[in-house]
């Protein structure tokens, strides 16, 4: 990883060890592990869930170039997969009725349907403000996608890097990783600086890498762990630390905030990226899900030989908890969350 930083898993452990504002609770980890086991047994947690969503690319589509084109589509999605809220309204930006990340997905899918070459690196390496505003136009015709200028910068950066070294195709980055998720993660962070989600904490350079890891995870999920999506070390990818999953972790009693931190969160203070509070919450999230994953794998080995552990990892656990937060939004809304205007999540 760049500049001798800790890996995300190592970062989570280091952050929890030195945290002053958050606590990890073993009983809550057990409770969460039980929820995940039940989800696996009922098949609510499954690698197929990604491609089954109508807004995601499907590499098995019959259209020409659908197989390799799906990788370019996912790459554009995760280049732009950050900050869909504004300080005074968390769901104002909508596309075809969708909010948040799915509003982004809906905008990209709409652009493709309209014949816009939005997944072509040459196209987006030169994209201008007017075109971006049109592609990501909202339902109300007024609300702009947040951090629009930053999105243009990200598209220019990754498009130019892709054209310069990888013939403009993200599949070539995947192939260069030689079926290693860790190597792909390293390549993404090395080649595309806007994915370098890192911070200094308690004397170490820590890596959270939400968007870089979700890009690897989405490629794995999109191709269902086969072909371009096969990685022999996919279990090394951790959860994707954002501002919503911690609400679920607090809900299950695996994460606890100090009274002082709760007060900060309740005041809707906008934190700076790299603030120790932000780093602690995100690092603890990684640590907890890694503990849950380890507990679940142990339980599968001992008590559930009927469930294959091959597609059980932090990626599917994260996806399940992210969906859980959306499903039980009303129940979880009383739990405050940290707010950072950032390109990293």
In the chain, where are the structural domains located?
8-340
Instruction: Tell me what the mean pLDDT of segment 126-149 comes to.
Output: 95
SS3 119: coil
* Predicted confidence band of residue 52 (pLDDT cuts 50, 70, 90): low
Among 208, 150, 220, 158, which residue's Cα sits nearest to residue 187?
A: 158
- Write down the mean pLDDT value for the chain: 93
CB contact at 8 A, 300 and 307? yes
pLDDT at 2 over 70: no
Q: What sign results for the dihedral spanned by CA atoms 202, 208, 197, 188? A: positive
H-only helix segments in 192-275: 210-222, 245-251, 259-266
Catalytic residue among 242, 294, 303, 331: 242
pLDDT reported for residue 310: 84
Is residue 242 part of the annotated active site? The answer reads: yes
252-285 tens-digit pLDDT? 999 999 999 999 999 988 998 999 999 999 999 9
Q: Which residue is it, tokens 């937060």? A: 325
pLDDT reported for residue 61: 76
Q: What percent of the chain is predicted at pLDDT more than 70? A: 97
pLDDT reported for residue 59: 87
CA distances from 125 to 15, 157, 170, 218 (A): 36, 7, 14, 22
Query: What phi and psi values does residue 95 have, to the nearest 5 degrees?
Result: -130, 120
d(CA 10, CA 12): 5
Q: What percent of the chain is predicted at pLDDT more than 90? A: 85
Instruction: Tell me what the mean pLDDT of segment 65-90 comes to.
Output: 89
SS3 284: helix
CB contact at 8 A, 148 and 127? no
pLDDT reported for residue 62: 67
First to last CA, the chain: 19
């Amino acid at each position: 990883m760049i500049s001798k930083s800790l890996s995300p898993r190592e970062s989570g452990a280091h952050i929890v060890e030195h945290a002053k504002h958050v606590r990890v609770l073993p009983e809550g980890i057990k409770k969460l592990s039980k929820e995940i086991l039940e989800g696996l047994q009922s098949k609510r947690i499954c690698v197929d869930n990604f491609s089954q969503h109508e807004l995601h690319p499907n590499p098995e589509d019959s259209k020409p170039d659908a197989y390799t084109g799906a990788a370019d589509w996912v790459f554009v999605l995760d280049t732009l997969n950050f900050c869909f809220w504004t300080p005074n309204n968390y769901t104002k930006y909508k596309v075809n009725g969708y909010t948040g990340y799915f509003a982004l997905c809906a905008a990209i899918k709409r652009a493709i349907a309209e014949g816009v070459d939005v997944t072509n690196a040459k196209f987006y390496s030169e994209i201008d403000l007017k075109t971006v505003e049109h592609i990501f136009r909202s339902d109300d015709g007024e609300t702009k996608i947040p951090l629009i200028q930053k999105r243009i910068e990200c598209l220019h950066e990754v498009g130019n890097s892709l054209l310069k070294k990888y013939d403009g195709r993200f599949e070539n980055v995947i192939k260069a990783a030689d079926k290693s998720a860790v190597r792909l993660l390293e390549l993404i962070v090395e080649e595309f600086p806007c994915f370098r989600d890192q911070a200094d904490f308690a004397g170490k350079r820590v890596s959270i890498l939400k968007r870089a890891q979700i890009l690897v995870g989405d490629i794995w999920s999109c191709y269902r762990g086969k072909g371009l999506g096969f990685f022999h070390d996919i279990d090394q990818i951790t959860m994707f630390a954002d501002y919503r999953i911690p609400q679920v972790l607090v809900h299950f009693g695996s994460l606890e905030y100090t009274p002082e931190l709760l007060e900060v969160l309740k005041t809707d203070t906008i934190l700076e990226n790299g603030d120790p509070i932000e780093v602690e919450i995100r690092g603890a999230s990684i640590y907890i899900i890694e503990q849950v994953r380890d507990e679940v794998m142990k339980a599968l080995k001992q008590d559930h030989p009927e469930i294959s552990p091959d597609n059980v990892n932090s990626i599917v656990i994260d996806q399940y908890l992210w969906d859980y937060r959306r499903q039980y939004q009303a129940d979880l809304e009383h739990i405050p969350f940290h707010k950072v205007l950032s390109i990293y999540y």
